[in-house]
């Protein structure tokens, strides 16, 4: 009897735990915290390591988004599918972003973390938040919409603006659909380029522990763990609210769609730890897109939902905005009527859009919200400036998990989820002992097959 060896699955011995990315990032975060705490000056000096890694990731974000969206949309072959994905995505974003704002508002009214502080706004140093207020003043709804349109076709890639790259990619993808067979040579070039780009992502992710080490050492060295003690109620309330939002709200959504939020978190543990270490969900954007596609979500859905969600589906930022705004009002004994709180919520709903998952974006959008609702003193932001960095990690992680859930949900709504492949990913045995079939619906670039480095 002759055995067809080519039909046999590839078998790989499990790698040692210390070679997994998530373990390396955990060690880096712990080491960074120790350096920052015991040697704060050294910790602050390590800031370039974190900044350098984030710059490396930002360097690759634009081509990843562009190639993923263009090849995904062109693969649809019809404009009807594009409109369906966009419509369902924005419906999901609008509902859960608003719900997150409401959750923050309710928790702030029930817990009242700022009550009893009795701060006189006149005694606050407004100069500490002047830069954030200035940036917030420059932002407006009209300016945000106009900023989506790049100056030139290539300037979106030069500036690295996610929404501009998204805009150009969608237009180009639609153009390829409309030209039909004539555009296939271009599509083949882009598909080939995507193989190399995702290989570059894998290479850059190997530097993640170094980036997390430097960023966390700087945070602890600069601000110190002790700085959160005075505002522990606010920080604790925010972390607990975000955790409950993920487990209860997003967990219920996941359960209704037939999967576990804990399984999804486990699958993305390396990326979540990276977000924790760098305080930026943007640092894990390319890896999230890659892993969502590996988990069975169709490329066209991943390419649209993930980048768009980074600007329009910011659950953590929304919880933070209403909770922090009411904290400032309570701390300064500023009474807000129900109508004023609803106005605050509506303004926050608009100002939160476009706040990509980068460090400080939540603080700027909070300043933008308070500048429109003058009842709450903007100078009160000085109260939370010292602990904002510690809340930034939680904002980014919540945003990140929210966008991962949105990708799976929209994929299911679009019938663009390979359920068998997804179940294998959630079980933790994706590609272990099996090669993805050739011509698979969601086939990733060939260079990504059996590449465990980015899947751990």
For residue 282, tell me if it sits in a domain. yes
Residue 218 parent element (H or E): helix 208-223
Spatial distance between the Cα atoms of 109 and 327, rounded to a whole number of angstroms: 9
pLDDT digits (tens, 9 = 90+) for 53-71: 888 888 888 888 888 888 8
More confident residue, 207 or 138: 207
Q: What is the rounded average pLDDT of the residues 316-326?
A: 90
For residue 453, tell me if it sits in a domain. no
Percentage of the chain lying above the pLDDT 70 cut: 80
- pLDDT reported for residue 456: 38
Q: How many residues does the chain have?
A: 456
For residue 455, tell me if it sits in a domain. no
pLDDT digits (tens, 9 = 90+) for 366-403: 777 777 677 777 777 777 776 777 788 888 899 999 99
- pLDDT reported for residue 166: 83
**Residue span of the structural domain in which 276 resides:** 17-448
> 111: domain CATH number?
1.10.3860.10
Q: What is the DSSP string of 389-456?
A: HHHHHHHHHHHHHHHHHHHHHHHHHTT-B-HHHHHHHHHT-TTTT-PPPTT-TTPPPGGGTT--TTT-
For residue 454, tell me if it sits in a domain. no
For residue 6, tell me if it sits in a domain. no
User: Looking at the 3D structure of the chain, how many domains does it have?
Assistant: 1
More confident residue, 353 or 47: 47
DSSP 248: I
Task: Tell which residue, 274, 234, 299, 303, has the closest CA to residue 400.
Answer: 274
Spatial distance between the Cα atoms of 43 and 57, rounded to a whole number of angstroms: 22
- pLDDT reported for residue 155: 83
For residue 10, tell me if it sits in a domain. no
- pLDDT reported for residue 104: 92
- pLDDT reported for residue 126: 58
Q: Is the pLDDT at 441 greater than 50, yes or no?
A: no
pTM higher than 0.85: no
- pLDDT reported for residue 446: 37
- pLDDT reported for residue 229: 63
- pLDDT reported for residue 127: 58
Q: What is the DSSP string of 282-344?
A: GGGHHHHHHHHHHTTB-HHHHHHHHHHHHHH--HHHHHHHHHHHHHHHHHTT----HHHHHHH
Q: Is the distance from CB of 430 to CB of 416 less than 8 angstroms?
A: no
Say which residues have a Cβ less than 8 Å from residue 142's Cβ, sequence separation at least 6.
Answer: none
For residue 422, tell me if it sits in a domain. yes
- pLDDT reported for residue 1: 44
Token pair, residue 102, equals 């409401």
pLDDT digits (tens, 9 = 90+) for 67-118: 888 888 787 767 777 778 888 998 999 899 899 999 999 999 998 888 877 7
For residue 334, tell me if it sits in a domain. yes
Q: What is the rounded average pLDDT of the residues 7-20?
A: 60
Say which residues have a Cβ less than 8 Å from residue 98's Cβ, sequence separation at least 6.
Answer: 318, 349
Spatial distance between the Cα atoms of 287 and 297, rounded to a whole number of angstroms: 14
């Amino acid at each position: 009897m002759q055995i067809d060896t080519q039909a046999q699955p590839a078998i790989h011995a499990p790698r040692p735990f210390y070679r997994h990315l998530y373990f390396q990032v955990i060690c880096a975060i712990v080491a960074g915290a120790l350096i920052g705490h015991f040697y704060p000056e050294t910790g602050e000096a390590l800031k370039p390591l974190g900044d350098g890694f984030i710059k490396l990731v930002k360097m690759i974000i634009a081509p990843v988004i562009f190639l993923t969206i263009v090849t995904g949309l062109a693969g649809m072959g019809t404009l009807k599918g594009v409109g369906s994905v966009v419509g369902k995505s924005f419906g999901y974003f609008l509902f859960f972003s608003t719900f997150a704002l409401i959750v923050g508002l309710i928790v702030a009214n029930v817990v009242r973390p700022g009550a009893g502080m009795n701060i006189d706004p006149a005694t606050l140093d407004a100069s500490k938040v002047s830069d954030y207020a200035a940036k917030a003043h420059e932002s407006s709804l009209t300016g945000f919409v106009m900023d989506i349109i790049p100056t030139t076709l290539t300037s979106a890639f030069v500036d690295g603006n996610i929404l501009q790259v998204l805009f150009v990619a969608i237009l180009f993808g639609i153009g390829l659909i409309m030209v039909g067979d004539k555009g296939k040579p271009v599509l083949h070039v882009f598909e080939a380029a995507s193989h190399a780009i995702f290989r570059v992502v894998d290479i850059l992710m190997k530097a993640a522990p170094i980036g997390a080490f430097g960023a966390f050492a700087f945070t602890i060295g600069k601000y110190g763990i002790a700085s959160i003690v005075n505002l522990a109620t606010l920080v604790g309330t925010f972390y607990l609210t975000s955790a409950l939002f993920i487990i209860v709200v997003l967990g219920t959504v996941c359960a209704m769609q037939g999967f576990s939020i804990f399984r999804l978190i486990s699958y993305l543990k390396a990326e979540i730890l990276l977000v924790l270490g760098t305080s930026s969900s943007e640092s894990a954007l390319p890896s999230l897109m890659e892993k969502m596609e590996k988990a069975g979500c169709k490329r066209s859905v991943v390419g649209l939902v993930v980048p768009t969600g980074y600007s329009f589906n910011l659950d953590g930022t929304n919880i933070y905005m209403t909770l922090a705004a009411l904290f400032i009002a309570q701390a300064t004994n500023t009474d807000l009527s129900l109508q004023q709180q609803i106005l605050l919520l509506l303004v926050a709903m608009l100002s939160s859009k476009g706040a990509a998952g980068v460090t400080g974006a939540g603080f700027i959008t909070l300043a933008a919200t308070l500048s429109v609702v003058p009842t709450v003193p903007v100078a009160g932001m000085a109260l939370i400036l010292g602990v904002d960095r510690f809340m930034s990690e939680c904002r980014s992680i919540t945003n990140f998990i929210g966008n991962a859930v949105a990708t799976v949900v929209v994929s299911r709504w679009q019938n663009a989820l390979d359920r068998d492949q997804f179940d294998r990913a959630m079980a933790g045995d994706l590609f272990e002992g099996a090669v993805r079939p050739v011509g698979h619906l969601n086939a990733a670039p060939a260079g990504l097959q059996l590449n465990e480095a980015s899947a751990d």
